[in-house]
Structure 1
Amino acid sequence: MYLVRLITLIILGLGGFYFAGSVDNQNLRFISMMAGCLAVILFYFYPMYEAHFRKQPNFDAIFMVNLLLGWTLIGWTVALIWALREPEIVAVVNKSKTDVAESHKASDAAKVHEATKQMVECPFCAEDILAKARKCKHCGSEVEPAIH
């Protein structure tokens, strides 16, 4: 659909200038020139129009690129491609406070269970240490790891 709009603008612009050159009436020539100039201006800001039409979330940035760099073919092309790009859809998940609290409780319980499962008693100072520890962090004694 964007191609139809773009081609229509090109035809209006070229047609207005062509008609202005072939008419002898000054008033009609002026109106044709104004129509051609308006079509050229609309063609220049075409990427901005597409961004607005497609409800791009970064419309302001596309407008600035089109306004400041649109006179270069590269700037206009970048603005057009950016405007025609489909916006990314971001899913928003709404969680209530109770859901968040319950998930934290479940993860905390799993952490406590995991931590207690991996602890053993130091044979020298009777403090709890990790089962894989080679040295007690409390007394500094070297211990045999319980789990390899």
Structure 2
Amino acid sequence: MQTAMLLAYLLAIDDGETTFALGRRLASQIVIVLVYLAPSIIAQRYQHPRQPAILMLNMALGWTIVGWVAALIWALNGRRQE
């Protein structure tokens, strides 16, 4: 019942300002996730030999600044030289 009422409320709100705010919020959340996963994305992009370990470190301790920076440094240090 509550779900139906929430859906009816959301459908009733059809002004551009609310839609823009929701879109902006979704876009900002996507950016936050991409920044959070940046060390893992970099490790995958450069085919780091320890990519699974970097992903595990990023997921386990990436929420701390120290863990995220450590994963980023590790991902950047293992880049293959071309």
Which residue does the alignment assign to 2:69? 77
Please give the alpha-carbon distance, in whole angstroms, between the structure 1 residues aligned to 2:44 and 2:20.
33
Amino acid in the other structure paired with 1:73: I
Runs of 4+ in 1 over 4 A off after TM superposition: none
Q: TM-score, length-normalised on structure 1?
A: 0.42
Change beyond 3 A, Cα 1:26–1:82? same
Q: Structure 2 regions of 5+ residues with no counterpart?
A: 1-15
Q: Per-residue deviation at 1:86?
A: 3.1
Summarize deviations over 1:71-102 as a string: whole Å, max 9, x none.
Answer: 0000000000000013578xxxxxxxxxxxxx
Higher strand share: 1
Which residue does the alignment assign to 1:29? 21
Change beyond 3 A, Cα 1:32–1:87? closer
Which residue does the alignment assign to 1:52? 44
**How many residues get paired?**
66
Please give the alpha-carbon distance, in whole angstroms, between the structure 2 residues aligned to 1:74 and 1:81.
11
Higher helix share: 2
Percentage identity across aligned positions?
A: 33
Please give the alpha-carbon distance, in whole angstroms, between the structure 2 residues aligned to 1:69 and 1:54.
21
Please give the alpha-carbon distance, in whole angstroms, between the structure 2 residues aligned to 1:53 and 1:29.
33
Q: Structure 1 regions of 5+ residues with no counterpart?
A: 1-23, 90-148
Q: TM-score, length-normalised on structure 2?
A: 0.75
